[in-house]
């Protein structure tokens, strides 16, 4: 087996069932993300600063290799972040159009399986991540001060304002960079 392949199939990943919503109020001890540092009107700029780091991760040798069999490879994390950009772009658009918006359920593990993350072309994922990152950054650029307390609800009942939604979103992108030593 080449050192650039995953040792197990994508269906052998341990699902993440943790509730990460606490990161909108407290620093993350694992990755160092501090929600107090997030300017809610500068989330777009933060995303633009993170995209080149993701592109660099996806260009590394061994991008398909998992650190342990049950943990995603950098390629799989990159494909996940690409999809996170799209999901959060849709959800933010919904929040800005409808206060109290309800989000459709999104199962990230099912998306990874359906999307065949482990078998994707890293260069293509990098390009798609950059496009999706630009789109969500542009959407966050449209947020005005008066939009920050608009509400959206996840299917599990978690409630976000646009302000806390931006924090939650950025944590996901930053935390996964930490996961892949990016």
Q: Is residue 135 packed enough to be buried (19+ CB in 10 Å), middle (13-18) or exposed (0-12)?
A: middle
- The per-residue pLDDT for range 155-171, each reduced to its tens digit, is 888 999 999 999 999 99
- Joined together, the tokens standing for residue 89 give 């772009």
**151 close to 100: Cβ distance less than 8 angstroms:** yes
- Joined together, the tokens standing for residue 167 give 């924090």
In the predicted structure, residue 181 carries a pLDDT above the cut 50:
yes
Mean pLDDT, the chain, whole residue set:
91
The pTM (predicted TM-score) of the whole model is: 0.90
CA dihedral (15, 169, 179, 110) in degrees, to 10, reads 30
In the predicted structure, residue 6 carries a pLDDT above the cut 80:
no
% of the chain at pLDDT higher than 70: 90
The pLDDT score that the predictor gives to residue 135 is 98
Measured between alpha carbons, how far is 180 from 41 in angstroms, rounded to an integer?
A: 27
Question: In DSSP terms, which residues pair with 2 in a beta bridge?
Answer: none
Measured between alpha carbons, how far is 25 from 28 in angstroms, rounded to an integer?
A: 9
Please indicate whether residue 22 or residue 159 has the higher confidence score (pLDDT): 159
Of the pLDDT bands very low, low, confident and very high (cuts 50, 70, 90), residue 14 is low
The predicted model gives 74-86 an average pLDDT of 97
DSSP state of 152: E
- The per-residue pLDDT for range 88-109, each reduced to its tens digit, is 999 999 999 998 999 988 888 8
- The per-residue pLDDT for range 107-161, each reduced to its tens digit, is 888 899 899 999 999 999 999 999 999 999 999 999 999 999 999 999 888 999 9
In the predicted structure, residue 7 carries a pLDDT above the cut 50:
no
The pLDDT score that the predictor gives to residue 182 is 82
**51 close to 130: Cβ distance less than 8 angstroms:** yes
Nearest to 137 by CA among 89, 94, 90: 89
Measured between alpha carbons, how far is 121 from 58 in angstroms, rounded to an integer?
A: 9
% of the chain at pLDDT higher than 90: 77
The pLDDT score that the predictor gives to residue 40 is 97
Q: Which parts of 138-179 are beta strand (E)?
A: 151-153, 159-161
How many other C-beta atoms lie within 10 A of the C-beta of residue 110? 11
């Amino acid at each position: 087996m080449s050192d650039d392949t995953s040792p197990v199939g994508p269906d052998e990943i341990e699902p993440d069932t943790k509730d990460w919503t606490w990161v909108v109020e407290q620093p993350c001890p694992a990755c160092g993300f501090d929600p107090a540092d997030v300017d809610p009107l500068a989330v777009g700029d933060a995303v633009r600063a993170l995209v080149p780091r993701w592109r660099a991760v996806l260009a590394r040798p061994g991008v398909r290799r998992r650190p342990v069999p049950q943990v995603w490879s950098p390629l799989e994390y990159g494909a996940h972040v690409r999809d996170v950009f799209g999901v959060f772009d849709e959800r933010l658009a919904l929040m800005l159009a409808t206060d109290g918006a309800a989000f459709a359920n999104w199962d990230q593990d099912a998306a990874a399986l359906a999307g065949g993350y482990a078998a994707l072309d890293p260069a293509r994922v990098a390009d798609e991540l950059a496009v999706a990152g630009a789109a969500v950054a542009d959407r966050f650029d449209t947020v005005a001060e008066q939009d920050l307390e608009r509400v959206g609800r996840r299917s599990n009942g978690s409630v976000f304002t646009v302000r806390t939604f931006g924090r939650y979103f950025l944590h996901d992108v930053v935390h996964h960079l930490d996961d892949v030593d990016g």
